[in-house]
Amino acid sequence: MAEELKGNQFEGKGEYVVDVFEEIAEYYDKMNGIMSIGMVKGWHRFMFKKAGDISGKKVCDVGCGTGEISFMAAERVGKDGEVIGVDITPGMLAMARKKMATLDLPKDVDFREGDALNMQFDDNTFDLVTSGYMLRNVTDIQQAVNEMYRILKPNGKCIVAELSKPKNKLLLFGYNIYVFHIVPWFGRRFDKGKKIDGKQPAYDWLTSSLEGFPHGNDMVKIFKKAGFEDARFYVKSMGAVNIYVATKTQ
């Protein structure tokens, strides 16, 4: 039997998460579409609505995965801007580069392997930092947000999409059925129930990672502790996703 994972943090999480995403890289986008019921691109468009005009700006997409948010950023910064996508999983970066070869972007994204907890950029480098569904997967959420703050220029924005839970009890009941039963059932079409590092199959982890994961005002507190004085969140899809928007004021 696969080892049960209790809570969002556990011994060996770093290696386990990398191995999970290496395993699912090839079908990650397809499953994302299923899991979000096709709403994921709308969430990303909302992120860039909150970013405002970023033409000619420098953007870092942290935990870029297969590049979906990075590509949206590249379209908006144009040929005079720059987008760097950072991810710790080589397989996800390989998929991002493969997809990019089929796109007509104003300028290619610079995809790099790197750790969100220790990014190899100078302080005050980027005008915008984005991230999607990455914070659940790190071993130190506060350190990841601290790093986003550090690499932002003063007056730069950080915009993060993360899964959440509805507050309404009726919606939460339906949400729990969907996330903890239906999503893993769909996931079996892809992960085949294969244990990763003797632990849960990939799509069991992607749902159980929500247990104990901070969201809403608890996540805003993490942004403020990192130094973001102006931090807020927007509830999307009846509470299934939150978009966090924070500005580095100094």
> Among positive and negative, which fits the CA dihedral 54, 58, 62, 66?
positive
pLDDT tens by residue, 190-202: 899 999 999 999 9
Please report, for residues 77, 144, 145, 146, 221, the alpha-carbon distance to residue 57 in angstroms, rounded to integers and kept in the order given: 6, 22, 21, 21, 28
pLDDT (mean) for 222-246: 95
Q: Tell which CATH classification among 3.90.1150.10, 2.40.30.10, 3.40.30.10, 3.40.50.150 matches the domain 13-247.
A: 3.40.50.150
pLDDT value for 201:
92
Distance CA 90, CA 96 (A): 10
pLDDT exceeds 60 at position 2: no
Distance CA 224, CA 218 (A): 10
Segments making up each domain of the chain, as ranges: 13-247
pLDDT value for 6:
58
pLDDT tens by residue, 138-152: 999 999 999 999 999
pLDDT tens by residue, 12-30: 999 999 999 999 999 899 8
pLDDT tens by residue, 176-187: 888 888 888 888
Residues 6 or more apart whose CB falls under 8 angstroms from that of 60 comprise: 83, 84, 85, 86, 119, 121, 125, 126, 128, 129, 130, 151
Task: Supply the pTM of this predicted model.
Answer: 0.93
pLDDT exceeds 50 at position 98: yes
8 Å CB contact between 241 and 43: yes
Alpha helices in 53-201 (DSSP H): 68-77, 90-100, 141-151, 169-177, 183-191
pLDDT exceeds 90 at position 211: no
* Arithmetic mean of pLDDT over the chain: 93
Least confident of 20-29, 34-43, 157-166, 238-247: 34-43
Which H or E run includes 152? strand 152-163
Q: Which amino acid is at 232?
A: R
pLDDT exceeds 50 at position 1: no
DSSP per-residue letters across 33-45? HHHTTT-HHHHHH
The tally of CA atoms less than 13 A away on the side-chain side of residue 111 is: 25
